[in-house]
Amino acid sequence: MIETFIEGNKIFQEQDFERKKDRYMQLTSTQHPTVLWIGCSDSRVNPERITHCRAGELFTHRNIGNIVPTHDWNFATVLEYAVKHLKVKDIVICGHSDCGALNALDVDMSKDAYIPLWINNAREAQTRVDARLGEAKTPEEKAIRKKEIEFENVRLQLEHLRSYPLVSMAEEKGCLNLHGLYYDLKTGALSKIA
């Protein structure tokens, strides 16, 4: 597999890097992304590809379930760097269809050491949807519930994001905007949800 990456990199160098060398040379000394993109690690949801962004336009943080944990050093340092040093103007939380992390909320993961702890950061989304919709019985109801949990998780993670003082203060001052987006794997469409 690594050889495939090396070959792919040669194609990238020939077909992209060399053609846009000035752009890539600018990126060697600085970056000026205007957006912090918080998305899922899912291999089917590549932020630059689905938004048609160029290198250097998005500062990304990806994890299982596009989660904004409230007490996580890794996430907090990405957030702090993006807001205080890169001075991004927008933060996007992007959820997606058929999210395995959110599907795992309904699965016994007791044999896993880390996944259950991590996805507990999304548990409230499931609780809210179940309270609103009740028990899903038919396949159609289950599909609606699943999508609603995916939407609600983005809303929940926006709430988590606003619990960080540097975000809430920047948003109050009008120098930071928060957005919730949803990517549909079946259509390739990106849409606003919050």
Task: Give me the active site residues, please.
Answer: 40, 42, 44, 96, 99
Are 152 and 182 in contact by the 8 Å Cβ rule? The answer is: no
Annotation-wise, does 99 bind a ligand? Answer: yes
By 3-state DSSP, what share of the chain in percent is helix, strand and coil, each rounded to 5?
Answer: 50, 15, 35
The residue written with tokens 């995916």 in the block is: 150
Annotation-wise, does 40 bind a ligand? Answer: yes
Distance, in Å, from the CA atom of 161 to the CA atom of 151, rounded to the nearest integer, reads 16
> Which of left, alpha, beta for 90 (phi over 0: left; psi -120 to 50: alpha)?
beta
Annotation-wise, does 94 bind a ligand? Answer: no
- The first and second tokens of residue 174, run together, are 């009008």
- The first and second tokens of residue 26, run together, are 């600018």
Ramachandran angles phi, psi of 96, nearest 5°: -155, 165
Host H or E run for residue 183: strand 177-183
Annotated binding site: 40, 96, 99
Annotated binding site for Zn(2+): 40, 96, 99
